[in-house]
Amino acid sequence: MMIRVKLIANYREALPPEAKHGVVELDVPNGTTVYDAISRFDIPLNDESVIVLNGLTVDMNTPLVEGDMVTAFSAIAGG
């Protein structure tokens, strides 16, 4: 199934060159979780990152469905 991963600001450096405006499309097997999808990228997977599914706060073990967007950004800065 196709899902998308979006990385914001400094995290964009972890994206492959084909990413556009911080978004890549990925073909992932059924049962892939938020954690599985985001751990493909070299970003901190601890409290230094905020990771959301379709903009919502979810458990990292939530399984993805076709068309989902996982987004991550650094929690180092704040506004």
Partner 1 sequence: MYGWHLRILRVNLTTHKVTTEDVDPKIARDYLGGRGWAIHYLYKEMDPMVDPLSPENVLIFATGPLTATPAPTGNRYMVVTKSPLTGALAHSNSGGEFPTWMKRTGFDMYIFEGKSPEPVYLFVNEDQIEVRPAAHVWGKDVHETTDILKAETSEEARVACIGQAGENLALMAAIMNDKHRAAARSGVGAVMGSKNLKAVVAMGNKNPALHNPEEMRALSVDTSKNVGADVKKGSNMRIYGTSYVPQVTNTLGILPTRNFLQGTFEGVNNIDGDALKNQYLIRHTPCYRCPLSCGRLTEVPDGPYKGKGEGPEYETISSLGTGCGVSNLAALVKANYLCNEYGMDTITTGMTIAVAMEMYEKGYISEEVIGMPLKFGDHDAMIAMIRKMAYREGFGNDLAQGSYRLAEKYGHPELAVTTRKQEFPGYDPRGSQGMGLLYATSNKGASHMEGDVAYEEVFGVPVKENPLTTEGKPELVKHFEDSFALMDSSGLCVFVAIRYAFNKDRMILPQRLAEMMNFSTGAGYTPEEALKAAERVYNLERMFLIKAGSVPENDTLPYRMLHEPLPDGPAKGKVVELDKMLPEFYKLRGWDEKGYPTKEKLIELELPLN
Among 25, 54, 63, 67, binds partner 1 (CB under 8 A): 54
Could you tell me which stretch among 25-33, 34-42, 44-52, 60-68 binds partner 1 (CB under 8 A)? 44-52
Could you tell me which stretch among 25-33, 34-42, 46-54, 60-68 binds partner 1 (CB under 8 A)? 46-54
- 37 binding partner 1? (CB under 8 A): no
The sign of the dihedral angle between the CA atoms of 6, 8, 14, 16 is: positive
46 neighbors 23 (Cβ within 8 angstroms): no
71 secondary structure, DSSP code = E
Nearer to partner 1, 26 or 60 (CB): 60
- 4 binding partner 1? (CB under 8 A): no
Residue 2 to residues 13, 17, 45, Cα–Cα distance (Å): 22, 18, 22
